Amino acid sequence: MTSPSQVPDEFVQGFIKSGQSLWQAMVCPAGMFPRADAVPVGADGTGGVGALAELQLNYFQQQLALWTRMMTSVAGRPDNATGISETGDRRFKATAWQDVFAYRLLKQAYLLNSRLISGMVEAADLDEPTRQRLSFYTRQFIDSMSPANFAATNPEVMQLAFETGGQSLRAGFENLLKDMGTGGLSITDQTAFEIGKNVAVSEGAVVFENELFQLIQYAPLTDQVATRPLLIVPPCINKFYILDLQPANSFVRFAAEQGNTVFLVSWRNPDAGCGHFTWDDYLSQGAIRAIEVALAISGADKLNALGWCVGGTILSSALAVLRGRSNTSVASLTLLTTMLDFSEPGELGIFIDEQGVSARDRSIGKGGIYPGAELGFVFQTLRANDLIWPNVINNYLKGKAPEAFDLLYWNADSTNLPGPMYAWYLRNMYLENNLCVPNRLTMCGTQVDLGRIDVPSYVLAAHEDHIVPWKAAYRTTQLVGGKTQFVLGASGHIAGVINPASKNRRSYWTGGALSDDAEKWFASAEATPGSWWTHWAKWLAPYKGKPVDARRKLGNKEYVEIERAPGRYVKVRAN
């Protein structure tokens, strides 16, 4: 097998001639693109003729420049131009993508064609929902066609195959067969972690359980604790231990170190026997029941509540129900990357339309299970170049085993959802956006109005969040009552939240003037280096109540310890 750094001269010359012929046959003919005078003009006059004509001209010029540079390089003259920039693109980090002309040509041609296709989507005269949908699927196609994804056009893969005598390709095929047997792409070493052993290890006990969730009370880490406990409601579409991965990056541990008695909801991973659970069940038998038990155990007058993502939507809905009943048992509300107004749901919205939601209503709306693996794959496609293609290359083309990474272990630990709950959530949140309209929805027999949530609220968004766009999370400040503190963290949906104070990484923005315009808030906000965790701890302090001596025995006479944390429910894996 020939090393990619030792390509024969005759191959080089043949490659150039073939490329020139292909370019002349497929790029130059006028029929490849519509004539400028045949392209419909957009409603605002900016699309159609001008946009597509400019794309066509730029494409021709860049193709010609690309081939000129490549032929100059083959002729032995230095090529000082690098072409289209791929700064930060990890797919092309190997030096061969720049140093070996054939691979450099492949890379530059791919990037050039990708830019053309994306530009044509942007230039098309389409309504915004259609444009977003087309843009998403176009990106999936573009990502899938990267030359890095194919053995013959990836220099690292070819070099490794050369060095191992082809054994890397054999191992990759074996990895492929193994994943086909399990029905999914391996993204981490599943044998490297065990829940309760090296992830989800904070000390505590399950003090209550029903068919829907277990309530964990964590052991105190300070001699004195606040009178009012902290209740955490994580998303039910993932396992809770993203908040308790390792001691060094555990939000649960951090909260306990701040003198909080921490209670946490561990949702059940639904099986076929749970196919009847509804959204109201997640409120009445989930969040509201957890509030009642935490208050009964702590003996406090009120508690502080925190919800993340869908857990925040569940918690906010539960609080709206409680406030509708004049219940004042919650002292403050913290929402982490949570949507309450779904008018701009980001890329997840492209999967939601009346036809699809109606199909869900018919198939599982009256009973059944929505498989977690399906939902997990949807989330992976939103970041295909991080979660799909690098693993395809590593596992199948290079024949390597996936690396051990706690975050990816959690990411692969999918959770099922009850059909009636999921179908109701899709329709009333994503499709019809009913929650943000006062008194439009009735939950648990009570009309809900988010404006009745008049407690102080801490609303965190993440600037690069692809699941809950930060401007969508910002709208919460205009929906809930009470004094609101909005904070914008750097990074994305997970890294923006799990940003340990001890590492002092990234940054966050605070202090902007609250209005109905998120951009105006950002323009007046100030950036602070480090983790938002410490900022939140200071914000929460006035609502915690006076300090009292910590009780080492968890639970009470009515709610005794059932088992040690993290409990059974979190260990159940989806089929």
Q: What is the pLDDT of residues 302-326, one digit of tens each?
A: 999 999 999 999 999 999 999 999 9
Residues composing the chain: 575
Residue ranges per structural domain of the chain: 4-140, 204-371+414-571
In angstroms, what CA-CA distances link 68 with 20, 87, 158, 187?
10, 22, 27, 41
Least confident of 297-306, 352-361, 535-544: 352-361
Instruction: List, in order, residues 6 or more apart from 283 with CB less than 8 Å away.
Output: 314, 317, 318, 321, 443, 444
The model's confidence at residue 52, banded by pLDDT at 50, 70 and 90, is: low
Task: Identify the bridge partners of residue 335 per DSSP, sorted by sequence position.
Answer: 307, 459
As to burial, measured by CB atoms within 10 angstroms (0-12 exposed, 13-18 middle, 19+ buried), residue 108 is: buried
- Report how far Cα 80 is from the mean position of its chain's Cα atoms: 39
Residue 9, pLDDT score? 46
Residue 570, pLDDT score? 98
Tens of pLDDT, residue by residue over 203-234, are 999 999 999 999 999 999 999 999 999 999 99
Rounded Cα distance between 541 and 247, Å, is: 23
3-class state of residue 490 by DSSP:
coil
For residue 496, which amino acid is it?
G
For residue 520, what are its two tokens? Answer: 């105006």
- Report how far Cα 5 is from the mean position of its chain's Cα atoms: 38
Q: Bigger pLDDT: 378 or 223?
A: 223
Rounded Cα distance between 130 and 417, Å, is: 28
- Residue 71 in this model has a pLDDT that exceeds 70: no
Rounded to 10 degrees, the C-alpha dihedral 483/534/460/303 comes to -60
The model's confidence at residue 394, banded by pLDDT at 50, 70 and 90, is: very high
Residue 484, pLDDT score? 97
Whole-number average pLDDT of the chain = 87
Stretch 133-162: mean pLDDT: 92
Tens of pLDDT, residue by residue over 84-95, are 555 557 889 999
The model's confidence at residue 41, banded by pLDDT at 50, 70 and 90, is: very low
Stretch 165-184: mean pLDDT: 91
- Residue 287 in this model has a pLDDT that exceeds 70: yes
Residue 124, pLDDT score? 84
Tens of pLDDT, residue by residue over 452-474, are 999 999 999 999 999 999 999 99
Stretch 158-180: mean pLDDT: 93
Are residues 333 and 313 in contact, defined by beta-carbon separation less than 8 angstroms?
A: no
Residue 72, pLDDT score? 55
Residue 334, pLDDT score? 98
- Report how far Cα 40 is from the mean position of its chain's Cα atoms: 37
Residue 40, pLDDT score? 40
Stretch 242-256: mean pLDDT: 96
Total Cβ atoms within 10 A of residue 88 = 7
Active-site residue 309, yes or no?
A: yes
Instruction: List, in order, residues 6 or more apart from 333 with CB less than 8 Å away.
Output: 304, 305, 306, 307, 315, 316, 319, 453, 455, 456, 457, 458, 480, 482
Stretch 415-439: mean pLDDT: 97
- Residue 37 in this model has a pLDDT that exceeds 70: no
For domain 204-371+414-571, the CATH architecture is: 3-Layer(aba) Sandwich (3.40)
Q: What is the DSSP letter of 437?
A: S
> 445-449: long-range contacts (C-beta < 8 A, 24 or more apart)?
446/321, 446/324, 446/325, 447/324, 448/317, 448/320, 448/321, 448/324, 449/320, 449/323, 449/324
- Residue 413 in this model has a pLDDT that exceeds 50: yes
From 258, 193, 261, select the one nearest 227 (Cα to Cα).
261
For residue 70, what are its two tokens? Answer: 């490549």
Are residues 434 and 311 in contact, defined by beta-carbon separation less than 8 angstroms?
A: no
Residue 338, pLDDT score? 98
**Catalytic member of 236, 274, 309, 436:** 309
Stretch 351-364: mean pLDDT: 93
Place of tokens 């690069």: 464
- Residue 102 in this model has a pLDDT that exceeds 90: no
- Residue 244 in this model has a pLDDT that exceeds 60: yes
Residue 5, pLDDT score? 42
Stretch 237-261: mean pLDDT: 96
- Residue 38 in this model has a pLDDT that exceeds 50: no
3-class state of residue 181 by DSSP:
helix
φ, ψ dihedrals at 311, nearest 5°: -60, -35
Residue 318, pLDDT score? 98
Above pLDDT 90, what percent of the chain?
A: 69
Rounded Cα distance between 177 and 170, Å, is: 11
The model's confidence at residue 176, banded by pLDDT at 50, 70 and 90, is: very high
Rounded Cα distance between 504 and 55, Å, is: 44
Are residues 54 and 62 in contact, defined by beta-carbon separation less than 8 angstroms?
A: no
